[in-house]
Structure 1
Amino acid sequence: MAINYGLDGKVALVTGAGGGIGRAAAEAFARSGASVMVSDVNEAGGAETVTLIEAAGGKAAFVRCDVSNAGEVKAMVAATVATFGGLDCAFNNAGINRITDDQYDDAIWERDIAINLSGVMRCMREEAAYMLQNGGGAIVNTASINGLVGNGGQPAYTAAKHGVVGLARHGALRWAKAGIRVNAVCPGVIETPMTAPLVQNAEMKALIDGMTPMGRMGQASEIAEAVVWLCSPAASFVTGHAMVVDGGATAF
């Protein structure tokens, strides 16, 4: 069920919004009244997200950004402010999740950390710099259940997502008195384009469903609702929180 979280007149920035969780969150922000800056390296996907929002009566624009590039992140935040006149909510969602034969390869490690961890830091840094001068705001970072528990097959991803949770707690402490709330959302396995190969493999999908007490993969819209709630006035006393949305997978 889509809920309006009362964000009329607010401006939201969503990275990794060309599909999956990011697109669902961008649409949810728009349904709640926010103007949405859609960002991604996937220009076609980002443009499609903007079209979907506008077709539903919302306001959106697109800016391309590779979050591993500090200059592009700075330009993204500046474009958001220039286009919509401010920045109230930010969802730092851009990330990659790769399974390869050699997870300890230096190039794999460095790329994963550059996007999944350093990219989040760069976004937080630029978003907070604006919010500190303009009355505060709310930031949510995409972590993962692998930011709370171990994963024997993906050292870089697991380390990065643990770091994302740490960044959220750091930001919450650093900026609490300045009116900036910082939280993280920790999805379980969610049915998105990124996980499509798993869904297409019936044996693998059955295994994943069996690992989740609710017996199914999550939907991008279910993560989006948590994100927009964390950015809304309804969560005004919530900061430094790693919200798990995983169908009970980490309850064992």
Structure 2
Amino acid sequence: MNTFDLQNKSVVITGASSGMGRAAALAFAREGARLVLAARRSEEGEAVAAAARALGAEAVFVQADVTREEDVRRVIDQAVQRYGRLDVAFNNAGTEGLAAPLHEQPIDNFDRVMSTNVKSVFFSMKHEIAAMLESGGGAIVNNASMGSFIGFQNLSPYIASKHAVLGLTRTAALEYFPKGIRINAVCPGIIDTPFQDRVWGSEEAKQGFAKSTPPGRIGTSEEVADLVLFLASARATFFSGQGVVIDGGYTVA
């Protein structure tokens, strides 16, 4: 059943090898989209592409480091060459970096987080927008965070990077909505991904925090993927420049 009318849409997903990227890839595959999946880890990425093909979708994996502009260009070119256009992009790749108080944060950690979380989104949007302008428009969804709106102790580079992602999203949305390109961000809270496993360090700590939140549980990557599909679809034609929070009410508690 095609819920979001994404049949045959050409879709690029970065950070597609696990977590929210993997869930989005499989969700788009079920909708009949044609996929180019990018990540650094080849074995995991190829497995996601194979799973998408098993669902009946066209899908190819491209090994890429999205902190390198040439790698990003190669991913976007692959979509245009294979499918004739680029309709949708989910810029999902990211990292949490080192957890430590600000005065103990090494500069190389700050640089790595900003490069992975911000520079990669800038590179991705730059080349995605160029491709979409050639074919008459499209939809871009960036993966930001509830940390785009609030602070979180011991993660200052990460929080700064996600504020920056939302800023890029809003500015580009103003520039390109009149040209047929909608640009939004999903802003997840505590979602059950390898990212959260690293942040909390143990299942007990992660679940303990989750129980203190309004829903009393951790969100799923599939719940985020459903939001990504909505924002990418024609059902969201009046959404642009938004950071849509999906956090079980954490930021309003």
TM-score range, shorter chain: over 0.9
Question: How far, CA to CA, are the matches of 2:250 and 2:146 in structure 1?
Answer: 8
Equivalent residue for 1:14?
Answer: 13
Counterpart CA distance in 2 for 1:226 and 1:3 is 15
What is the DSSP-based 3-state SS (H/G/I as helix, E as strand, rest coil) of the residue aligned with 1:4? Answer: coil
1:76 and 1:207 map into 2 onto residues whose CA distance is 39
* Cα gap change, 1:117 to 1:198, in 2 (>3 Å): closer
Q: Which amino acid aligns with 2:97?
A: R
Q: 1:186 is matched with which residue?
A: 187
Contact 2:97–2:157 at 8 Å: present in 1 too? Answer: no
CA contact (8 A) 1:140 1:183 kept: yes
Note the residue ranges of structure 2 that are not aligned, 5 or more in a row. none
Q: Where in structure 2 are the equivalents of 1:121-200 lying within 5 Å?
A: 121-197=122-198
Instruction: Confirm or deny: 8 A CA contact 2:40 2:64 kept in the other structure.
Output: yes
Identity of aligned residues (%): 38
Establish whether residue 237 from structure 1 lines up as the match of residue 247 from structure 2.
no
**TM-score of the superposed pair, with normalisation by structure 2:** 0.95
Q: What's the RMSD between the two structures over aligned residues?
A: 1.6
CA displacement at 1:83 relative to structure 2: 1.7
Once the two structures are superposed, the pairs formed by residues 1-252 of structure 1 within 5 Å of their partners are: 4-101=3-100, 104-197=105-198, 201-252=202-253
**What amino acid is aligned across from residue 114 of structure 1 in structure 2?**
S
Mapped to 1, the partners of 2:38 and 2:182 lie a distance apart of 21
2 CA distance for matches of 1:3 and 1:249?
A: 31
User: Relative to structure 1, is the Cα distance of residues 84 and 99 closer, same or farther in structure 2, using a 3 angstrom cutoff?
Assistant: same
**Cα offset, 1:196, TM superposition:** 3.0
Matched residues in 2 for 1:62 and 1:83: separation? 12
Is the 8 Å Cα contact of residues 20 and 225 (structure 2) preserved in structure 1? Answer: yes
Counterpart residue identity of residue 188, structure 1 = G
Amino acid at match of 1:87: L
Q: Which moved more, 1:14-23 or 1:198-207?
A: 198-207
Q: Indicate if the aligned counterparts of 1:68 and 1:118 stay in contact, CA closer than 8 A.
A: yes
In structure 1, C-alpha distance between the alignment counterparts of 2:203 and 2:77, rounded to whole Å: 45
The answer to whether the Cα contact below 8 Å between 2:35 and 2:59 also exists between their aligned partners in 1 is yes
* TM-fit CA distance, 1:211: 3.4
For 1:98 and 1:170, locate their aligned partners in 2 and report how far apart those are by CA, in whole Å.
26
- Equivalenced residue count is 251
Question: Offset of 1:207 from its aligned partner?
Answer: 2.7
SS in 2 for 1:50: helix
Query: Does the 8 Å contact 1:4/1:31 carry over to 2?
Result: no
Cα separation, 2, equivalents of 1:3 and 1:243: 23
Corresponding residue SS for 1:60: strand
1:5–1:100: structure 2 CA closer, same or farther, 3 Å change rule? same
Supply the distance in 2 between the matched residues of 1:107 and 1:60 (Cα, whole angstroms). 35
Residue type at the aligned position of 1:110: D
Conserved in 2, the CA contact under 8 Å of 1:191 and 1:199? Answer: no
- Structure 1 CA distance, aligned partners of 2:71 and 2:203? 40
Distance 2:213 2:66 in 1: 31
49-58 vs 118-127, which moves further: 49-58
Q: Distance in 1 between matches of 2:209 and 2:129?
A: 37
Say which SS state the counterpart of residue 252 (structure 2) adopts: coil
Contact 1:198–1:204, Cα closer than 8 Å, also in 2:
no
Give 1:52's aligned amino acid.
Answer: A
1:3–1:20 Cα change, 3 Å: farther
Displacement after TM superposition at 1:55 (Å): 1.1
Q: Report the Cα offset of residue 101 of structure 1.
A: 4.0
SS in 2 for 1:133: helix
Q: Tell me the CA shift for residue 168 of structure 1.
A: 0.8
The letter of the residue matching 2:242 is H
